[in-house]
Amino acid sequence: MLTKIIALVTVLYVCGIISSTITNADRWRASASLHYIGQNAVLAVFSTNKNIYVGNKKKQSTLTFTEALSNRADADRYVILAMTDEAFTDMAINFYEASIRAHHVNNFLFVGVGPNTCEHLSRLQIPCFYYANDPSASKASSYRQPGFIRKMNIRTNMILDALASNFTVIHTDIDVAFLGNPLQHIKVIGLMNGLIKA
């Protein structure tokens, strides 16, 4: 019961951030919903609107974030985004190997903070887009400290930019493990709730 209450508070908090961050409400519309898959809670943000990518010949300087998302999203415009910075590239690689690659998840993109993050991941053929820089990108940030708050604002902007470009975003942290491909469950839940047109 306590877990469900905490999950509900988290959803309300995320919805509050989304609604307070948007300055032009007509630019896009989204809905967030909390779903349980087994014992795990999954937050899905559905879009309701009608700089590096491994495997593409374009270089980072010529790709926009929207183009990188287009290259990585599936045919239904679903994309899993995971933000990482230089301090956590080792954890990002672990997440990629244990959760993304192991479960054949192809529509994902790491979003890099700091100029060296995507450079390091790209050497390993891991898709990453350099999104923003931050003075503390090369060191771990503590909860509620200025560096942490800046990085959380970058994450919020990254999600909002993807939603504004008409993608359905599944955001994940990199300190988790997927036990399977989560999109199979999220898409079914979206269909059942009428959020996705078949």
Return phi, psi of residue 77, to 5°.
70, 30
pLDDT of residue 94: 95
Q: Does 177 have pLDDT greater than 80?
A: yes
Of residues 167 and 38, the one with the higher pLDDT is: 167
**Exposed e or buried b for every residue in 170-191, given b needs 16+ CB within 10 A?**
bbbebeeebeebbbebbbebbe
pLDDT tens-digit series, residues 32-74: 444 444 444 444 444 333 344 343 334 445 789 999 999 999 9
pTM: 0.67
Element (H, E) at 33: strand 30-37
Q: Does 140 have pLDDT greater than 80?
A: yes
Contact call for residues 100 and 73 (beta carbons, < 8 A): no
pLDDT of residue 156: 93
Separation of alpha carbons 31 and 108, rounded Å: 20
